[in-house]
Amino acid sequence: MRMGLREVVPEVRAVLFDTDGVLLDSAVLHAAAWKRAFDACLTAGAFGTGQPAFDETDEYTALVDGKSRFDGARDFLRARGVALPAGTPDDPPGCATVWAVAAAKERAMAATLRDTAVRVYSDVAPALRALRDASLPLAAVSASRHARPLLAAAGLDLLLDTVLDGTDAARLGLPGKPDPALFLAAAHRLGTPPDRAAVVEDALAGVQAGRRGGFALVVGVDRRAAPGTADALRRHGAGLVVPDLTALAARLGGGAA
User: Catalytic site residues?
Assistant: 18, 20
Q: Which of 86, 70, 91, 80 is nearest to 48 (CA)?
A: 80
Indicate left, alpha or beta for 92 from its phi (over 0: left) and psi (-120 to 50: alpha).
Answer: beta
What would you measure as the largest C-alpha separation in the chain, in angstroms?
61
- Which contiguous run of DSSP H or E holds residue 164? strand 162-164
SS3 7: helix
Query: Is 214 in contact with 193 (CB distance < 8 Å)?
Result: no
What is the spatial distance between Cα 143 and Cα 154, in angstroms, rounded to a whole number? 18
Instruction: Please name the residue ranges forming H helices in 60-192.
Output: 69-79, 98-115, 124-133, 147-153, 166-172, 181-190
Instruction: Please name the residue ranges forming H helices in 116-241.
Output: 124-133, 147-153, 166-172, 181-190, 204-212, 229-236
- Which contiguous run of DSSP H or E holds residue 199? strand 197-201
